[in-house]
A and B are shown apart, each in its own frame.
Chain A
């Protein structure tokens, strides 16, 4: 039975209240209300109204609004109250099953590596090692441990294979495969948007609306758009309004305002308790050595150390990711993610629930490559470790986790792949057909871009303009649109290639691309 809107609203309100109750914001509001009792403008006769007014003028109401807005952004709308929790994680049974098998496979791989190398999943560090690590906390990049025996837990192409094999057992496609059917790699019937719907959804990217990334180039006088846009941005920051900020960044963030705007949208304020929490995570890292630490280490060395932009921040990446893997607050997001954190048992206590722990503590067991590439661009914006950490964590539990798990969510990787293939097949059918014929299914090339949110492929300033829009629209769909737009841009060259390798070569270097013009042309200036 469909949930009626009234019911849905009260459920949502109840959930938000429940989540905010007992939070530090809640206690701060209480404290503020108490403090206000001393103020002359608070009168006993109109206590409730006066306190409410005080909270409004002192900016606390705005903070509460931002927190509510944040909750609404992150958590999905409630479904029927009788629906079991798995449905909130993922409504489709076959998707849940596929995610479960995938997780088992990863865990097997990790366990066998453990056994082979005879390394425990976790162990306490000896005193002297702890001291040593603390001393070189800021320069872990200079270490050269022997990591040759560690293999990545899985490669992106393994994940793509799994997605390609997804099938909905309830769906019978009786038709003969023909040119009109879906010819791509993804064979599940999820609903994805078409270009008219995308145009509506991304209306702020339209041709007659100013954009950073287009209308701020050197040839355009700043009076036309840039100056005013900056002025509005400063105003949004002064008001400290999350919702306004989210709307604003759809047209791009001025570089000087971006760090603060993203923090506002993600509702990160770097309070003392947040800094303390980070320090606690840091001390966890010092005290205990986890197997996944070596995997992180290896992946950072392979990825960031060799990147033209990110190599400078190598040390920050270790710090953030080592802490992240121990952050149990991340477990919360599993309530709306199709993934489930793997459980491990204390040695000798297999199956006994009271001796079960999540491993690693944050429940993540993925190829860290993608994590690394989602932290690195943030180093351009935040140089304070605890703030950098919180921004990354929030970006991860809001957006990027969807790129690594199998779900039916519109921002999930499955939907993005399907959206990409559909856009290409519908609007560049000749190109799509040609590439398919020569054994170069487009998704094989674009998958790695999307699964990494284009990090490591675009120039940093372009990547940040793209991520502005991810935050602005609270969706990852723009990644699929950009991927299609890139193919459209290089279509002429791609039509001439005759092999997958040649197609890869044409699309190997995206570092000179300007993302906003590409997106704008693809969505708004191409004849459908």
Chain B
């Protein structure tokens, strides 16, 4: 009993080997949910229960969980957009240079989410926007689902008739969050490589929202569509062309089980530097870091910054052919399933590095710690933004202050601090 006393007791309701292997390698002890536990890697249903009014319970100081109670402010598509819009308006109201707009009324620095409306609530606003560009394509996504489920594309108003509030025929879609949809302008000019469309999956760890401290995993990857991209309208129904979720791609005829259609971010960088040049590539990656930080800042004021919590998000980003990155969505439970051997190694290392930061020294946690891990434990993470350090440096007010600079990482090469080194992670 004495010997066990010092070991972290863990629980999970997600049966994935990349998790369990990491717990076991630290010599942690598996316990049941109703026992005394120190670390619980939970699904989003469970976090809802833990913090719900009816079924919830107080966590003690030596208990850590892997979600923030109201993570959905960031991870639900409609709430993310709502929070970003609110954030932008606030900045505009206080006259911040970040909220500057161009001659067309578009935000110069904060236009990183494709135009989005909630349905059915904003139906009329959507129609107005749609009519400005009747040949545009829009993507309909159910608010509460993941893995590409329930998504479809439309290019005619008639296709979404049933979300119209005025529609006589509509069996009026209930306000329950399960049936609400967001409709976003579809990015029909994605950057193509080898003629194929892809999106970026980046992992971001947040240890605290106030002050904001977040880390970016250097080993993100690109997910390619297996079928050649074509913007032609006849292909709108072919989800294999348009959606890059691995869950959907896996069922396409061309899906290749050996490589799973993924590239490392460093490969992407090599390709872009070689074919487009270094400046535009650096600018692209700086912008990607920027939009991640801004999205976190947008939700920070409304987040329940419970000290028992940390969270590892999966950010999905699409790059268009002008090399502008767009934030598509943020996932609270990025998939821990591995589609290939390399994938398994990546996710194993991801969890490993995450645990090293969230549970210092692998010892029984104390949620009151200052959440400032030493540089050596970061592993493949690098500091994306540290609000405390930014404020002490006095760079907080700098309108285009690059996320990396405020942390002083790598000194004179601050510009590169977000840049993954060219070499492969394999």
Residues of A at under 8 Å CB distance from B?
A: 138-139, 141-142, 144, 217-218, 221-222, 254-256, 258-259, 305-309, 311-316, 379-383, 459-462, 464, 511-512, 514
List the A side residues contacting B228 at CB < 8 Å: 138-139, 142, 315
The 8 A CB mask of B230-252 against A (1 = contact, 0 = none) is 00000000000000000000000
List the B side residues contacting A311 at CB < 8 Å: 224, 256, 259, 261
Indicate if the CB atoms of A380 and B259 lie closer than 8 Å.
no
- Determine which residue in A312, A379, A381 has the highest number of CB atoms from chain B within 10 A of its CB, and name it: A312
Smallest CB separation, A86 vs chain B (Å) = 41
- 14 new A-B contacts at CB < 8 Å, known A142-B227, A306-B256, A514-B423: A218-B416, A218-B421, A255-B278, A256-B281, A259-B274, A305-B256, A308-B259, A311-B224, A380-B275, A461-B266, A461-B424, A511-B426, A512-B423, A512-B426
B271 in the interface (beta carbon within 8 A): yes
Indicate if the CB atoms of A379 and B342 lie closer than 8 Å.
no
B193 in the interface (beta carbon within 8 A): yes
B273 in the interface (beta carbon within 8 A): yes
List the B side residues contacting A308 at CB < 8 Å: 259, 262-263, 342, 426
List the A side residues contacting B263 at CB < 8 Å: 308-309, 312
List the B side residues contacting A307 at CB < 8 Å: 259
Residues of B at under 8 Å CB distance from A?
A: 193-196, 224, 227-228, 253-254, 256, 258-259, 261-263, 266-267, 270-271, 273-275, 277-278, 281, 342, 410, 412-413, 416, 421-424, 426
Determine the distance from Cα of A139 to Cα of B361 in the docked complex, in whole angstroms: 51
Indicate if the CB atoms of A312 and B224 lie closer than 8 Å.
yes
Smallest CB separation, B222 vs chain A (Å) = 9
Determine the distance from Cα of A471 to Cα of B267 in the docked complex, in whole angstroms: 23
Indicate if the CB atoms of B254 and A141 lie closer than 8 Å.
yes
Indicate if the CB atoms of B424 and A512 lie closer than 8 Å.
yes
* CB-nearest residue of chain B to A511: B426
Question: Which 4 pairs show the lowest CB-CB distances between chains A and B?
Answer: A312-B194, A139-B228, A255-B273, A459-B424
Indicate if the CB atoms of A461 and B270 lie closer than 8 Å.
yes
List the B side residues contacting A255 at CB < 8 Å: 270, 273-274, 278, 422
Q: Given the interface contacts A309-B267, A316-B194, does A381 sit within 8 Å of B275 by beta carbon?
A: yes
List the B side residues contacting A258 at CB < 8 Å: 274
Indicate if the CB atoms of A315 and B426 lie closer than 8 Å.
no
Determine the distance from Cα of A217 to Cα of B423 in the docked complex, in whole angstroms: 10
Indicate if the CB atoms of B254 and A461 lie closer than 8 Å.
no
- A139, A306, A315, A460: the one contacting B267 at CB < 8 Å is A460
List the B side residues contacting A144 at CB < 8 Å: 253
Smallest CB separation, A230 vs chain B (Å) = 8
Determine the distance from Cα of A144 to Cα of B253 in the docked complex, in whole angstroms: 10
Smallest CB separation, A509 vs chain B (Å) = 8
Indicate if the CB atoms of A315 and B194 lie closer than 8 Å.
yes
Indicate if the CB atoms of A511 and B274 lie closer than 8 Å.
no
List the A side residues contacting B413 at CB < 8 Å: 218, 221-222
List the A side residues contacting B259 at CB < 8 Å: 306-308, 311
- Determine which residue in A221, A311, A462 has the highest number of CB atoms from chain B within 10 A of its CB, and name it: A311
Indicate if the CB atoms of A259 and B342 lie closer than 8 Å.
no
Indicate if the CB atoms of B254 and A460 lie closer than 8 Å.
no
Smallest CB separation, B53 vs chain A (Å) = 49
List the A side residues contacting B271 at CB < 8 Å: 380
List the A side residues contacting B262 at CB < 8 Å: 308
* CB-nearest residue of chain B to A222: B413
The 21 listed contacts between A and B (C-beta, < 8 Å) are: A138-B195, A142-B253, A144-B253, A218-B410, A218-B413, A254-B278, A255-B273, A255-B274, A256-B274, A256-B277, A309-B263, A309-B267, A315-B228, A380-B270, A460-B270, A461-B266, A461-B422, A461-B423, A461-B424, A462-B423, A511-B426
Smallest CB separation, B133 vs chain A (Å) = 27
Main secondary structure of the interface of A (DSSP, over half): helix
Smallest CB separation, A395 vs chain B (Å) = 16
* CB-nearest residue of chain B to A259: B274
* CB-nearest residue of chain B to A141: B254
* CB-nearest residue of chain B to A255: B273
Indicate if the CB atoms of A312 and B196 lie closer than 8 Å.
yes
Indicate if the CB atoms of B424 and A511 lie closer than 8 Å.
yes
Determine the distance from Cα of A139 to Cα of B229 in the docked complex, in whole angstroms: 10
* CB-nearest residue of chain B to A144: B253
* CB-nearest residue of chain B to A258: B274
Smallest CB separation, A306 vs chain B (Å) = 5
Smallest CB separation, A456 vs chain B (Å) = 13
List the B side residues contacting A256 at CB < 8 Å: 273-274, 277-278, 281
Smallest CB separation, B74 vs chain A (Å) = 31
Determine the distance from Cα of A311 to Cα of B194 in the docked complex, in whole angstroms: 9
List the B side residues contacting A382 at CB < 8 Å: 275
Determine the distance from Cα of A464 to Cα of B271 in the docked complex, in whole angstroms: 12
- Determine which residue in A139, A255, A382 has the highest number of CB atoms from chain B within 10 A of its CB, and name it: A255
Smallest CB separation, A292 vs chain B (Å) = 23
Determine the distance from Cα of A308 to Cα of B257 in the docked complex, in whole angstroms: 11
Indicate if the CB atoms of A381 and B194 lie closer than 8 Å.
no
Smallest CB separation, A308 vs chain B (Å) = 5
List the A side residues contacting B277 at CB < 8 Å: 256
List the B side residues contacting A305 at CB < 8 Å: 256
List the A side residues contacting B281 at CB < 8 Å: 256
List the A side residues contacting B194 at CB < 8 Å: 312-316, 379
List the A side residues contacting B416 at CB < 8 Å: 218
Determine the distance from Cα of A460 to Cα of B273 in the docked complex, in whole angstroms: 13
List the B side residues contacting A309 at CB < 8 Å: 263, 267
Indicate if the CB atoms of B261 and A380 lie closer than 8 Å.
no
- Determine which residue in B273, B410, B421 has the highest number of CB atoms from chain A within 10 A of its CB, and name it: B273
Determine the distance from Cα of A462 to Cα of B281 in the docked complex, in whole angstroms: 19
Smallest CB separation, B181 vs chain A (Å) = 31
Indicate if the CB atoms of A312 and B256 lie closer than 8 Å.
no
Smallest CB separation, A464 vs chain B (Å) = 8
Determine the distance from Cα of A222 to Cα of B412 in the docked complex, in whole angstroms: 10
- Determine which residue in B193, B194, B256, B423 has the highest number of CB atoms from chain A within 10 A of its CB, and name it: B194
Determine the distance from Cα of A462 to Cα of B424 in the docked complex, in whole angstroms: 9
- A221, A312, A313: the one contacting B412 at CB < 8 Å is A221
Q: Given the interface contacts A259-B275, A312-B193, A383-B275, does A306 sit within 8 Å of B258 by beta carbon?
A: yes
Smallest CB separation, B183 vs chain A (Å) = 30
List the B side residues contacting A259 at CB < 8 Å: 274-275
Determine the distance from Cα of A307 to Cα of B261 in the docked complex, in whole angstroms: 10
* CB-nearest residue of chain B to A384: B275
Smallest CB separation, A216 vs chain B (Å) = 9
List the B side residues contacting A316 at CB < 8 Å: 194
List the B side residues contacting A459 at CB < 8 Å: 423-424, 426
Determine the distance from Cα of A144 to Cα of B195 in the docked complex, in whole angstroms: 19
List the B side residues contacting A380 at CB < 8 Å: 270-271, 274-275
Determine the distance from Cα of A59 to Cα of B423 in the docked complex, in whole angstroms: 38
Determine the distance from Cα of A383 to Cα of B36 in the docked complex, in whole angstroms: 58
* CB-nearest residue of chain B to A139: B228
Determine the distance from Cα of A142 to Cα of B267 in the docked complex, in whole angstroms: 23
List the B side residues contacting A383 at CB < 8 Å: 275
List the A side residues contacting B274 at CB < 8 Å: 255-256, 258-259, 380-381, 464
Smallest CB separation, B424 vs chain A (Å) = 4
Determine the distance from Cα of A511 to Cα of B342 in the docked complex, in whole angstroms: 12
